[in-house]
Amino acid sequence: MYIFGQQLLNGLILGSIYGLIAIGYTMVYGILGMINFAHGEIYMISAYLFAIFLALAGLVGVDSLPVALLATLLLTVAVTCCYGFAVERIAYRPLRGASRLAPLISAIGMSLVLQNYVQLAQGARDQAVPPLYSGVLRLGRAAEQGGAVEYVQVTHVQLLILAVTVLAMAVLTWLIGRTALGRACRATQQDAVMAALAGIDTERVISLVFVIGSGMAAVAGVLITVNFGSFNFFIGFVAGVKAFTAAVLGGIGSLPGAMLGGILLGLAESLFAGLVNTDYSDVFAFGLLVTILVFRPTGLLGRPEVEKV
Domain that holds residue 221: 18-140+147-236
Query: What is the tally of structural domains in the chain?
Result: 1
Q: Give burial (CB, 10 Å; 0-12/13-18/19+) of 14.
A: buried
SS3 252: coil
Cα separation, 289 vs 250, whole angstroms? 9
Q: Are 2 and 149 in contact (CB under 8 A)?
A: yes
Q: Which pLDDT value is given to residue 241?
A: 86
Is residue 11 within 8 A of residue 268, CB to CB? The reply is yes
Within a domain: residue 243? Answer: no
With respect to residue 102, please indicate whether it lies within any of the assigned structural domains.
yes
Instruction: Tell me if 292 is assigned to some domain.
Output: no
* Residue 257 resides in a domain: no
- Does any domain span residue 83? yes
Closest CA to 218 of 57, 56, 50, 68: 50
User: What is the pTM for the complete model shown?
Assistant: 0.88
Let me know if residue 4 belongs to a domain. no
Ranges under pLDDT 70 in the chain: 1, 140-150, 303-309
Distance CA 39, CA 23 (A): 10
According to the model, what pLDDT value does residue 86 have? 93
pLDDT of residue 33: 78
What pLDDT score was predicted for residue 186? Answer: 86
pLDDT for position 274: 80
